[in-house]
Amino acid sequence: MAVYCKDGKTIKSKKSKQCEVLAAAIDPDKKMVALTFDDGPGRYTKQIVNCLKKNNAKATFFVIGSQIDSYKSSLKAASEIGCDIGNHTDTHPEMTKLSEEEIKNQISRTDKKVKKVTGKTPTLVRPPYGSVNGKVAQAVGKPMILWSIDTRDWQTRNKEKTVNAVMENVKDGDIILMHDIYKPTKEAACTLIVQLKRKGYQLVTVSELAKYRGYKLTKGKVYHSLQKR
């Protein structure tokens, strides 16, 4: 049960009775959503991380292994503010067309690269193109996170359209798909972080959303949203 201070932005600590900005102060009774960014890390990742940090918000980055070497510090920064780093394969293939061994290699190569930079092995996978079948589910061996709101930011490359795609449809438990490799998406993300918070949404990672909405994420299972059940 969160007790908010007069400013509505900070929370009263039980121990010290003082107003503190607590990163872990997620109120399960309040609305929450997960912003997710695919195909990075890229040239706009760090700016998105800065917007998140400034607003005490978090997101999930589903990264491509082959991108990591060029943007190590961005990836590290995202992890350091408490964002989830998920696995989006090494070279972004359509995994349904690969052999089981190739799928396993795609996942393990990116796992290793992320671990090397952040110290943590990704627990979640987003299959490129949302393309999944039984073979993929078996070979990936981790929960697979799809989305409930597709901003189509890669197609429109338009800040307003990306913002509207979210604000006109958002509800508690949504998983929102964006790509942190486009400038309009970076601009949209920074606007969305502020607007969603203003509407009472907490911006949490996919793992946090699952935890607070009572889901135990299971290996090989596909999730589109994590709404209260």
Burial 131-157 (b: 16+ CB within 10 A, else e): ebeeebbebbebbbbbbbbbbebbebe
> Considering 39, 174, 179, 180, which one is annotated as catalytic?
179
Tell me if residue 38 is catalytic.
yes
205, 34 in Cβ contact below 8 A?
A: yes
Handedness of CA 27, 23, 34, 167 (dihedral sign): positive
> Considering 38, 39, 84, 174, which one is annotated as catalytic?
38
Residue 148 vs 202, nearer CB to Zn ion: 148
Interface segment toward Zn ion; rule CB under 5 A; list 23-31, 96-104, 123-131, 213-221: 123-131
Residue of 11, 32, 37, 39 interacting with Zn ion (CB under 5 A): 39
- Name the residue with tokens 């989006």: 88
128, 205 in Cβ contact below 8 A?
A: no
Tell me if residue 179 is catalytic.
yes
Judged by CB under 5 A, the number of residues near Zn ion is 3
Residue 105 vs 227, nearer CB to Zn ion: 105
42 part of the interface to Zn ion, by CB under 5 A: no
**Distance, CA of 92 to CA of 169 (rounded, Å):** 28
Residue of 35, 37, 38, 68 interacting with Zn ion (CB under 5 A): 38
Q: CA–CA distance from 53 to each of 57, 79, 82, 212 (Å)?
A: 6, 11, 9, 21
Interface segment toward Zn ion; rule CB under 5 A; list 32-40, 48-56, 110-118, 142-150: 32-40
128 part of the interface to Zn ion, by CB under 5 A: yes
Binding residues (CB under 5 A) for Zn ion: these are 38-39, 128
Annotated catalytic residues are 38, 179
